[in-house]
């Protein structure tokens, strides 16, 4: 399974999807000029990864997607939700798929956005206050 690495830019987040090292992260600000092209690549990668996990090389390790977005615009929100729905579909087939939503302690807007994403995508998130290793709470 191929890695997907996208460097952070002024307008788009860093993406690090590395199945060999079990690292799956989106981190930074999301306001790319072509939001469809940016997130379409991520969504297609999750589709490929889902096929990979159902094949003979499947891993039983926990697959943990870390979403650490300190800002995203409304156009990005739609595609982040689509991405979360893809993860939810994967989660429905494999209970070892998790989502961790990272937020700053004083950023209630990002925390609430994560709760809304979790609700709409129908997948529980773990909420992680930055600087702490343990999740604060879970939503269903």
Tell me how far apart the alpha carbons of residues 23 and 39 are, in angstroms, rounded to a whole number.
18
Instruction: Enumerate the domain spans of the chain.
Output: 4-138
Per-residue pLDDT of the chain (140 residues; tens, 9 = 90+): 899 999 999 999 999 999 988 899 999 999 999 999 999 999 999 999 999 888 776 667 889 999 999 999 999 999 999 999 999 999 998 888 999 999 999 999 999 999 999 999 999 999 999 976 555 555 55
Instruction: Give the pLDDT of residue 134.
Output: 53
Its pTM stands at 0.89
Report residue 83 as tokens.
Answer: 């991405």
Using CB atoms within 10 A of its CB, is residue 106 exposed (0-12), middle (13-18) or buried (19+)?
exposed
> Helices in 13-137 by DSSP H: which ranges?
35-54, 74-93, 108-121
CATH top-level class of 4-138 = alpha beta
Of 48, 44, 66, residue with least CA distance to 126: 66
């Amino acid at each position: 399974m191929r890695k997907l690495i996208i460097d952070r830019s002024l307008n788009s987040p860093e993406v690090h999807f590395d199945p060999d090292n079990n690292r799956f992260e989106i981190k930074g600000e999301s306001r790319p000029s072509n939001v469809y092209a940016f997130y379409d690549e991520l969504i297609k990668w999750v589709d490929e990864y889902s096929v990979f996990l159902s094949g003979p090389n499947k891993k039983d390790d926990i697959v943990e997607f870390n979403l650490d977005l300190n800002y995203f615009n409304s156009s990005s929100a739609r595609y982040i939700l689509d991405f979360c729905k893809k993860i939810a579909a994967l989660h429905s087939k494999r209970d070892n798929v998790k989502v961790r939503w990272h937020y700053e302690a004083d950023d209630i807007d990002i925390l609430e956005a994560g709760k809304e994403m979790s609700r709409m995508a129908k997948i529980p998130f773990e909420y992680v206050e930055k600087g702490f290793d343990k999740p604060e709470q879970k939503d269903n």
